[in-house]
Amino acid sequence: MTAPPPNGDAQAIGRLRADLDGAMGVMRDNMRNMAERDVQLQDLEGKSNTLHVASGTFSAHATRLRKEQEWQRCKTRLAIISVVLFLIWILIFIFIGERMTFLIISAVLLAIILPLTWCGIRHWRQQEDQESFRDVDGYPLD
């Protein structure tokens, strides 16, 4: 028969078991906290991605709005310049002696200016259309 362990060894084994149980409890708590943090990090990552997409969309809309306002200002300026030039043209026509020569020169200038203006506006709109086909990061869409 084996003799029972001495009383001191039983106490040492009890303390070791208590320490081991305490360490296991701390490890379980740490693992639970780590799992909770992982869920929180995944939630934060989802919110970050949503914010990134929203900021890209906002940037694209802001760029489009800025270009629309720029075009509106350009049209307003062209209208004002056209009215002023028309009034000057009328004043010159009234006070000039060579009306036929004036009309011919005016027609030639108008024939040159209108196509140039049309080409400029067309070029500007093509650039705007090309930029509208880019995604939020500024790279062309495939």
Asked whether residue 115 carries a pLDDT value surpassing 70, the answer given is yes
Spatial separation of the C-alpha atoms in residues 120 and 122, rounded to whole Å: 5
pLDDT of residue 7: 63
pTM: 0.48
Q: How far is CA 80 from the centre of its chain?
A: 34
Q: If pLDDT is split at 50, 70 and 90, which confidence band does 73 have?
A: confident
Q: Check if the beta carbon of residue 39 is closer than 8 Å to that of residue 32.
A: no
User: What torsion do the CA atoms of 89, 91, 95, 99 make, to the nearest 10 degrees?
Assistant: 30
Q: Check if the beta carbon of residue 59 is closer than 8 Å to that of residue 136.
A: yes
Q: Taking all residues of the chain, what is their mean pLDDT, rounded to a whole number?
A: 81
Collapsing DSSP to helix, strand or coil, 140 comes out as strand
Kindly report, residue by residue over 100-109, the tens digit of the pLDDT: 777 787 788 8
